[in-house]
Amino acid sequence: MPASPAEHAPDGSAGIAAYDVAVLGAGPAGLAASTAAARAGARTALVDLAARVGGQYWRHREGDSGAGHHHWPALRGLRDAAGGHDRLDFLPGLAVWHVERTPGGFTVHATAAQETAGRQAREIRCRALVVATGAYDRQLPFPGWTLPGVYTAGGTQALLKGHGVTVGQRVAVAGTGPFLLPVATALARAGATVAGVFEAGSPAGFRRHPAAIAGRPGPLIEGAGYLATLARHRIPYRTRTTVVAAHGTDRVTAVTVARLDADWRVLPGTGQRLDCDAVAVGYGFTPQIEIPLQLGCATRLDADGSLVAAAGEDQRGSVPGVYLAGEVCGVGGAVLALVEGELAGLHAAWTTAGTRPRARALARLTRRRSALRAFAAGLHDAFPVRPGWMSWLAQDTQVCRCEEVSVAEVRRAVTELGATDARTVKLLARPGMGLCQGRVCGYATACLAASLRDQGGAPGEEDLRGLAARPVAQPVTLGQLAGQ
């Protein structure tokens, strides 16, 4: 590893590292951005919470052969590039809690993520910032979802790929979106019995985007491969069906699976009990945009109903010096993240190190980005969340896991206390006020608030913003804040 350029701090202050470009997040987007920027001559920092690169998509253990991963050669190449480049510092194990605009660029405030590392506060100065902080599973509450043994789909995958642990012996996989398939097949390959894959939607709608399909046969072939694996392991794949309740006393022992209509309302009488000892559930992804929000970047509502940071042609955010790549500017998968990351890195290097990107490279990347975005839009269209999901909630179902706020309490904030938006619901009934600060319950709370306010309306940008802004993005103690 090259020596940290702490000595180069422009203001001469000690212990504060200064770079041309700082990239937050070492998943596909961040790896692509940092390697592109460094190759283009920018002194680059790549910051991540984890001990190694890869993000969630390429979560792996030491010595992983890559057998269970996609585009593994791309990771290997980027990982080697990141490790070997003398203008690129990989800074692992850092929890970024706040980024502020300071003269000449930005200051990234972080603490050491692992407790034994002395919980040192770190500051990283940069002239341009690339935010590539990815996304996490989007959740829809259901009765019993707080039982131990219920995991997110992403968590199930992280435990398997990152720690070699299967979440249970007999797992029900449910939710919506193509991500359920790799989760189920990975579990099956690891020796778990997958009781079924329950897809709430009906992906036949994907046929509405023939252009996207023609340009991107890869994922379809991947999809067919997953389905073949499921068939080989005799794992049922059901559509218009999902887990609507989990049962057990101190851990999950069974779930109820039920059929849904086109609007995701539970069809009465179709509930079936299924024994299992673990559940993996996910309904798409929520981009992690608190840092763009801290900096004042504009947002927009994306096709999957997510609040994303708005990115321009050159991956710029609305705040000068901020670039965005990957899921933060629209959930679209790893390959799109690689393309956007490279574009962001090239542009960030251009404005700091002065290296002008080659026009042909830009054109190629821009074309790929358009095609991949069209494909992502098609996917979002095929796997939307439909408002009927709220029909499977009971009055005592917890919406907010942290503060244990029930559906009834959220309703009361609207119907009795006059809340008309998600932020007011949060301030009155407290969903989103706990440790996770609305990351898990934000989308569901916004759905409930909007639906109660507009008779079944979908959550708007204002609703989602009300639970998305976090001035403190990672835990930091008051002592660390005070600089003690």
Q: Which of residues 122-151 bind another protein (CB under 8 A)?
A: 136-137, 146, 148-151
Q: Are 39 and 354 in contact (CB under 8 A)?
A: no
CB 410 within 8 A of CB 425: yes
66-125: which residues touch another protein (CB under 8 A)? 98, 100, 109, 113-116
Smaller CB separation from another protein, 88 or 473: 473
Q: What is the dihedral of CA 7, 13, 14, 17, to 10 degrees?
A: -60
Contacting another protein (CB under 8 A), which of 61, 76, 207, 367? Answer: 61
Closest approach of Cβ 303 to another protein, in Å? 23
Q: Which amino acid is at 172?
A: A
Site for another protein in 15-54 (CB under 8 A): 49, 51
* C-beta of 40 vs 160, nearer to another protein: 160
**Position 434 contacts another protein (CB under 8 A):** yes
**Three-state SS for 223?**
helix
DSSP E strand stretches across 41-148: 44-47, 88-91, 94-102, 105-112, 121-131, 135-137
Q: Which is nearer to another protein, 137 or 302 (CB)?
A: 137
Q: Please report whether residue 470 would count as binding another protein according to CB under 8 A.
A: yes
Q: Under the criterion CB under 8 A, does residue 430 sit at the interface with another protein? A: yes
Task: Centre a 10 Å sphere on the Cβ of residue 275 and count the other Cβ atoms it contains.
Answer: 11
- Binding-site member from 30, 105, 154, 357 for another protein (CB under 8 A): 154
Q: Which residues pair with 95 in a beta bridge?
A: 111
CA angle (380 as vertex; 379, 383 as ends), nearest 5? 85
Site for another protein in 253-312 (CB under 8 A): 288, 294, 296
320 burial via Cβ count (<10 Å: 0-12, 13-18, 19+): exposed
Cβ distance 30 to 132 under 8 Å?
A: yes
By CB under 8 A, residue 478 contacts another protein: yes
Closest distance to another protein from the beta carbon of 176 (Å) = 17
**Binding to another protein, residues 381-420 (CB under 8 A):** 401-404, 413, 416-420
Site string for another protein, 346-385 (x = CB under 8 A): ----------------------------------------
Please count the residues of this chain forming the interface with another protein, following the rule CB under 8 A: 71
According to the binding rule CB under 8 A, does residue 62 interact with another protein?
Answer: yes
> How far apart are the C-alpha atoms of 266 and 392, rounded to whole Å?
6
C-alpha distances in Å from residue 224, one per residue of 66, 71, 178, 217: 20, 17, 11, 11
The answer to whether residue 4 forms part of the interface with another protein (CB under 8 A) is no
Can you state the angle between helices 28-39 and 334-353, rounded to 10 degrees? 30
From the CB of 344, what's the least distance to another protein, in Å?
Answer: 23
Q: 365 or 413: whose CB is closer to another protein?
A: 413
Cβ-Cβ contacts under 8 Å for 310 (sequence gap 6 or more) = 297, 298, 299, 300, 317, 318, 329
Nearer Cβ to another protein (231/417) = 417
**Beta carbon nearer to another protein, 137 or 199:** 137
Contact 399, 412 (CB under 8 A): no
* Residue 310 in tokens: 């708005």
Q: Are 260 and 277 in contact (CB under 8 A)?
A: no
For residue 74, the minimal CB distance to another protein (Å) is: 21
Q: Quick check: 217 binds another protein (CB under 8 A)?
A: no
Q: Binder to another protein among 14, 214, 221, 482 (CB under 8 A)? A: 482
| Closer Cβ to another protein, 116 or 214, answer by number | 116
Q: Is 66 helix (H, G, I), strand (E, B) or coil?
A: coil
| Residue 326 beta carbon to another protein: minimum distance, rounded to whole angstroms | 15
Please answer whether residues 255 and 172 qualify as being in contact, where contact means their C-beta atoms are separated by less than 8 angstroms: yes
Residue number with CB closer to another protein (259 or 411): 411
User: Under the criterion CB under 8 A, does residue 56 sit at the interface with another protein?
Assistant: yes
Among 66, 84, 164, 218, binds another protein (CB under 8 A): 164
Question: Minimal distance in Å, beta carbon 212 to another protein?
Answer: 29
Instruction: Please give the Cα distance from 129 to 85 (Å, whole number).
Output: 19
Q: Which is nearer to another protein, 117 or 228 (CB)?
A: 117
Q: Which of 76, 163, 273, 364 binds another protein (CB under 8 A)?
A: 163
Q: Is 433 in the site for another protein (CB under 8 A)?
A: yes
Nearest approach in angstroms of CB 482 to another protein is: 4
At its nearest, how many Å lie between another protein and the CB of residue 357?
A: 32
- Paired strand residues for 245: 256
**Residue 194: partners with Cβ closer than 8 Å, 6 or more residues away:** 170, 171, 172, 173, 184, 187, 188, 230, 233, 235
227 burial (CB, 10 Å; 0-12 / 13-18 / 19+) is middle
Piece in contact with another protein (CB under 8 A), picked from 72-80, 309-317, 325-333, 427-435: 427-435
Pick 164 or 225: Cβ nearer another protein: 164
